[in-house]
Amino acid sequence: MPVISFANAKGGAGKTTAALLLATELAQQGYRVGILDADPQRWITQWHELSGPQHNIEVISEVTVASLQGHIRELARTADYTIIDLAGARDAIVTTAIGLSDHVMIPVQGCAMDARGGAQILDLIKLMEETGKLKIDHSVVLTRVTSMVTTRALLTIKGLLAARGVNVINTPIAERTAYREIFDCGGTLYSMDPTKISNLDKARENARLFAGEVMQLLPVRIVRSQQPRRLFKVVRSAA
């Protein structure tokens, strides 16, 4: 079961939106997803309360440094993917979650050079790798990208990050009305009415492409079981 943390030391980077889009898209594709809401703002918890039970998604709200590893261990029995939404900070729970993750996603706004929060997480990962003699896989995902941001500008940002040896997810998360509506109204992109939400088809495609890249980085196969009461078993694909 891959564990994916979303971390940025500065709030407002689109971290929670990216985490929820990934979780709901994976669930839509048939994967069982556990979400650990470790953000004090509890946006995903509020979304879950507003939405009601969601197929293939379990949300755990009371997450502390002491309980984090236990939650991950429990979800390993029931979930195909575990997603951790962290606070916009650089604190003990962020450090612990990074150390327990198979991959750390660092959302950075694609329309601004204010990437200091992301840089703090990159520095933290580097420090943890050097002092702990371990390897922490991580990627930057550009978020809240608007039509004002040109392809050339995105390539420039990716080039700057690549110069630091940072992997960048090819699919940036666009600024979409549908993404705001998820938190305001609950549900998912697939429960929304396309006649009421502008460019819903583009929002769905954006989320699908983003999730597709994550699944390539952390592949999991769902295999049909022969036993009728166990619909699925999960096998981690070979790298």
5 and 86 Cβ atoms separated by less than 8 Å: yes
**Is 6 exposed, middle or buried, given 0-12, 13-18 or 19+ CB atoms closer than 10 A?**
buried
Q: pLDDT tens, 83-121?
A: 999 998 889 999 999 999 999 999 988 644 456 788 889
DSSP state of 61: -
Contact 32/82 with Cβ under 8 angstroms?
Answer: no
Tell me, what's the pLDDT at 211? 97
Q: For position 165, what pLDDT does the model report? A: 83
Non-local (6+) Cβ contacts of 53 within 8 A are none
The bridge status of strand 81-86 relative to strand 33-38 is parallel
Q: Are 118 and 140 in contact (CB under 8 A)?
A: yes
In angstroms, rounded to a whole number, what is the distance separating the alpha carbons of residues 181 and 192?
Answer: 9
- Any idea which fold 3-236 has? Rossmann fold (3.40.50)
Mark residue 188 as left, alpha or beta (left: phi above 0; alpha: psi -120 to 50; beta: remaining): beta
Per cent of the chain over pLDDT 90 is 69
* pLDDT on residue 148: 67
- Angle formed at CA 98 by CA 131 and CA 46, multiple of 5 degrees: 155
Neighbours of 100 (CB within 10 A): 16
